[in-house]
A and B are shown apart, each in its own frame.
Chain A
Amino acid sequence: MLPPPTVRVGPIRWLKENLFSTWYNTLLTFLALAFIYAVLKGVLAWALTQADWAVIPPNLKLLLVGFYPQGELWRIWIGLYLILGLVGLSAGIWGKLLRDAVVLIGSAVILLGLVLWLTNWGELLWLTGLAVTMFGGIGLGWLVRSKLGSPKSWKRSLMVLWLLAPVLVILLLTGAPGILTSVPTTQWGGLLLTYALAIVSIFLSFPLGVLLALGRRSALPVIRWFSIGYIEVIRGVPLITVLFMASLMLPLFLPSSWRVDHVIRAITAFTLFTAAYVAENVRGGLQAVPYGHIDAARALGLNPLLTTALIVLPQALRAVIPANVGQFISLFKDTSLVFIVPLLDFLGIALDVIKDPKWGGPASEMLLFVALMYWMFTYFMSHMSRRLEKALGVGER
């Protein structure tokens, strides 16, 4: 059989088909061109002549890590090395899926490098080391894959590393008594705090969400109604009220000897809030497990607990990974709400810089920079989640 003929489309033909196919399309094209012209003209004129981008480099350290002590910054770098080395290694071993991740993280590193270029040689050196670590990781992973074969066991040990890495990084950042001087969370801030809040909360909310989802499908009415009540109440109120509640009422409802700092309060709120949403996602996955599988497990003599743990949950959780990545993205964006608890996350620091009379209120510049950074990370994550969805074949089997 012959393949279908390939059609070569010349530029004029393309224009005619895509922009001027009918009279109203032509009109729309001209309107769109006028719109683009007006917007670009305004934005470019502002960005190139009026905007004062010089405010960003001197505040960059503040924006990225807050008041983390200057002498302890190496810990953050080491943490980054650990994570990015792991990303590189996984990219090397996994191949297709994570290669995009590397490209995107690489461009983020380059962007930061450009911002840092004129300011600090020491940090530039660290940054170069970062790129070297990541690409070294890729090379190593690729070597492992091509020389040692059997990537299956390697993938499993990588998974363990991925689970261990966040714990290690957090220990590194907070400090362990006796080994590293501790850095109290009051000194955390900026992008570091944003990430810490999002990652810790999603890790904690996941098991809670799974329990709630199982509770909602439980045969025991008391547990079922408790879960339904919890999920529906939390989903019905804004996150900001939960945060507000945690910041005001946790100290009221806990013994006065427990001193709960603001980061813990915020994490509690994010965890309790996200758990309800994770529960609904997981419930969707639970419903997707065919009854035949449960019947078969019971017929083989597994008790309900084992049926859930060995048959239902593995299938359900695999199906809801993309939905939970989406949840993580929205949690990442929502961490900006910590302005209600006195915490200085990425946005909080930017707002502080805007308020500082020293800089003359560079609102547009700072907010656009913040928006760009958020955008890069969330766009990257949603891109990865789409790839992950394809790789897992959700909805295709």
Chain B
Amino acid sequence: MSRSSSGRSLAFWRDVRVVRIAMQLVFLAALALFVYWLYSNYVVNTRRFNFGFDFVSSTAGFTVSEGLAHERTDSNGKLFLVGLLNSLRVIIIGIVLASLLGLIAGVSRLSDNWLICRIATIYIETIRNTPLLVQLFFWYTAVFLKLPLVHESIALPGAIYLSQRGLVLPKPYLTDGVELWRWFLLAGALVGLVVYIARRVHLARAERPGSPFLWGVGVFGGIAALGWWISPQHPVAWEAAELGRFNFQGGLQLSPEFVAVLLGLVIYTGAFIAEIVRAGILAVSKGQREAALAVGLTRIQTLRLVILPQALRVIVPPVTSQYLNLAKNSSLAVAVGFPDLFNVAGTIINKTGREVEMILAIMGSYLTMSLLTSLFMNWYNRRIRFVER
């Protein structure tokens, strides 16, 4: 191709192969120059050449209000870990609750019931169209900080208390009864597994639809319940919080910051997931449902075997990006003072003045979280993807 028909060789600057390599070299050179320019400015501006992470092991000299136990004398790295774990706590609980809320709201918006449909629509349209930050400030300053003082806590049924100090829940703990129950759990798991495999083989041989998984779980649950009933003492008990002189003692105490961030993220992301769920269910054509009912599947079977598998295929990829959004949005916790990764890192920057290193660390952490989430969801997506035959 590089030679013209008359046999003269092509000038080298018109040779596609040369031009391609030259263009890339020019691009690289420009990029390198640009980065060098930035770096030289950095050196001039900070008069510092000691880029490095040695400050990670030096003493932090501050503490944050919640999270993994730590001291003032702990290192910056330890504090960073505290923040990271706090972020992960919000993200993981948030993803589970937002999925539930989104599923309920999305199905509600398709409900035959006019009122339910309207309520879901209003929820979704209100929440999706206002900034998350406004909502977070609203939950924190206008709701949680306006709650009564600890001694006048709002008591909800089930030993749940709401006050300015946050949400107090009863905490489950293991009693001595667990010694016996443990064996029941093990036996239940084994028998459940056997039942699952047997049922699965049987169904495959009979070429019938069914859910061996539900059978397995049912058997496991039955045996576990039996063990619970037989045990001399209930294996798990609830420790209710009690109001002490200044604050609640015991129980599971959640700070107002944590609850505000969680509530804000769940309600916000739930609205987006609801729209995705609705779109996914609507994407399954009506004929599929009618055909399934016509061949004699029950309504539940239709939903489980025909509608949901097809809807999930449409739902999973956008929901993945909503999960990623939730993880990234958790950094807004800094606005209400929850000591998450970003907040703690900000304090470390103020204390040590290592902006560049810390920002690299923050970005690296979020990138890793995003990458892990999308790896997992891609794996799940591949599992449920439509297999073309």
Chain A interface (Cβ within 8 Å of chain B)? 18-19, 21, 25, 28-29, 32-33, 35-36, 219-223, 226, 233, 235-241, 244-245, 248-249, 251-256, 333-334, 336-337, 339-340, 347, 351, 354, 363-364, 367-368, 370-371, 374-375, 378-379, 382
Please report the C-alpha to C-alpha distance between residue A378 and residue B126 in the assembled complex, in whole angstroms. 10
Please report the C-alpha to C-alpha distance between residue A230 and residue B92 in the assembled complex, in whole angstroms. 27
Interface presence of B359 (CB below 8 A):
yes
6 A-B residue pairs with Cβ-Cβ distance under 8 Å, sorted by A, are A21-B112, A222-B28, A240-B331, A240-B334, A252-B42, A379-B125
A251 and B367 contact, Cβ closer than 8 Å, known pairs A239-B328, A333-B132, A379-B129:
no
Interface presence of B20 (CB below 8 A):
yes
B41 and A255 contacting across the interface, CB-CB below 8 Å? yes
B367 and A233 contacting across the interface, CB-CB below 8 Å? yes
* Most chain B Cβ neighbours within 10 Å, of A18, A32, A334: A32
Interface presence of B300 (CB below 8 A):
no
Binds A, one of B139-147, B199-207, B215-223: B139-147
CB neighbours (8 Å) of B370 from chain A are 235-237
A226 and B27 contacting across the interface, CB-CB below 8 Å? yes
CB neighbours (8 Å) of B366 from chain A are 236-238, 241
Please report the C-alpha to C-alpha distance between residue A334 and residue B331 in the assembled complex, in whole angstroms. 13
Please report the C-alpha to C-alpha distance between residue A19 and residue B115 in the assembled complex, in whole angstroms. 7
CB neighbours (8 Å) of A334 from chain B are 131
* Most chain B Cβ neighbours within 10 Å, of A226, A244, A255, A354: A244
How does the 8 Å CB contact mask read for B138-175 relative to A, with 1 for contact and 0 for none?
Answer: 10011001100000000000000000000000000000
A238 and B329 contacting across the interface, CB-CB below 8 Å? yes
B46 and A222 contacting across the interface, CB-CB below 8 Å? no
A253 and B42 contacting across the interface, CB-CB below 8 Å? yes
| Residues of chain B in range 1-53 having any CB-CB distance to chain A below 8 Å | 20, 23-24, 27-28, 31, 38-39, 41-42, 44-46
A32 and B145 contacting across the interface, CB-CB below 8 Å? no
Please report the C-alpha to C-alpha distance between residue A336 and residue B42 in the assembled complex, in whole angstroms. 29
CB neighbours (8 Å) of B125 from chain A are 379
A238 and B328 contacting across the interface, CB-CB below 8 Å? yes
Q: Give the B interface residue count (CB, 8 A).
A: 56
B371 and A25 contacting across the interface, CB-CB below 8 Å? no
CB neighbours (8 Å) of B355 from chain A are 248-249, 252
Interface presence of B119 (CB below 8 A):
yes
B137 and A347 contacting across the interface, CB-CB below 8 Å? yes
CB neighbours (8 Å) of B113 from chain A are 18-19, 21, 25, 28-29, 32
B119 and A36 contacting across the interface, CB-CB below 8 Å? yes
CB neighbours (8 Å) of B97 from chain A are none
Residue of A nearest to B23 (CB): A220
Quote the shortest CB–CB distance from A70 to chain B (angstroms).
Answer: 27
Quote the shortest CB–CB distance from B352 to chain A (angstroms).
Answer: 13
Please report the C-alpha to C-alpha distance between residue A216 and residue B69 in the assembled complex, in whole angstroms. 45
Residue of B nearest to A220 (CB): B24
A374 and B367 contacting across the interface, CB-CB below 8 Å? no
CB-based A-B contact count at 8 angstroms = 152
Interface presence of B338 (CB below 8 A):
no
A374 and B142 contacting across the interface, CB-CB below 8 Å? no
Q: Which 9 A-B pairs have the closest CB atoms?
A: A238-B328, A18-B114, A222-B24, A364-B142, A333-B131, A378-B129, A236-B370, A238-B331, A32-B115
Quote the shortest CB–CB distance from B280 to chain A (angstroms).
Answer: 17
A256 and B44 contact, Cβ closer than 8 Å, known pairs A32-B119, A363-B142, A363-B146:
yes
CB neighbours (8 Å) of A28 from chain B are 111, 113, 115-116
Please report the C-alpha to C-alpha distance between residue A245 and residue B356 in the assembled complex, in whole angstroms. 8
Which of B38, B39, B115, B330 touches A33 (beta carbons < 8 Å)? B115
Quote the shortest CB–CB distance from A27 to chain B (angstroms).
Answer: 10
A371 and B41 contacting across the interface, CB-CB below 8 Å? no
CB neighbours (8 Å) of A236 from chain B are 324, 366-367, 370-371
Which of B23, B31, B130, B363 touches A226 (beta carbons < 8 Å)? B31
CB neighbours (8 Å) of B362 from chain A are 237, 241
CB neighbours (8 Å) of A375 from chain B are 126, 129-130
CB neighbours (8 Å) of A237 from chain B are 328, 362-363, 366-367, 370
Residue of A nearest to B367 (CB): A236
A32 and B38 contacting across the interface, CB-CB below 8 Å? no
Residue of A nearest to B129 (CB): A378
* Most chain A Cβ neighbours within 10 Å, of B45, B46, B137, B342: B137
Please report the C-alpha to C-alpha distance between residue A363 and residue B355 in the assembled complex, in whole angstroms. 33
Quote the shortest CB–CB distance from B192 to chain A (angstroms).
Answer: 31
Quote the shortest CB–CB distance from A382 to chain B (angstroms).
Answer: 7
